[in-house]
Amino acid sequence: MSLQQLAEDMGLKVERRQIPEEELATLEEAAECGTAAVVSPISRIDDVDMDKSYEYCKDGKPGPVCTALYKKLRAIQYGDEPDTHNWVQVIE
């Protein structure tokens, strides 16, 4: 949810839905997220039944949106940027 909020803050349209296979070819970037990983780029999705592959990280590096989201969230977590959503709690 934090990455969705940051994406909206960046002016991106955020949708939470299943992606039909016919849309896979239209994506410029793909990623997955989790508590520890923050955001991990998906380099390729294979459809073995249809013998198709969809590539997103041709150079092995995350795209600009994934990179920006990762850097922004980590900067908030480390206190390098303001936490405007009150996500971080300092415990002494």
Q: What is the pLDDT of residue 70?
A: 93
Locate all alpha helices (DSSP H) within the chain, ordered by sequence. 2-9, 64-77
Domains of the chain: 2-77 (3.20.10.10)
Q: What pTM was computed for the model? A: 0.84
CA 62 to chain centre: 9
Q: What is the pLDDT of residue 80?
A: 96
Q: What is the pLDDT of residue 35?
A: 77
Q: Measure the CA angle with vertex 64, ends 27 and 82; round to 5°.
A: 125
Rounded to an integer, the average pLDDT of 69-79 is 94
Res 81 pLDDT > 80:
yes
Assigned token pair, 28: 């410029």
pLDDT in tens, 14-62: 999 999 988 999 999 999 988 777 888 899 999 898 899 999 987 878 8
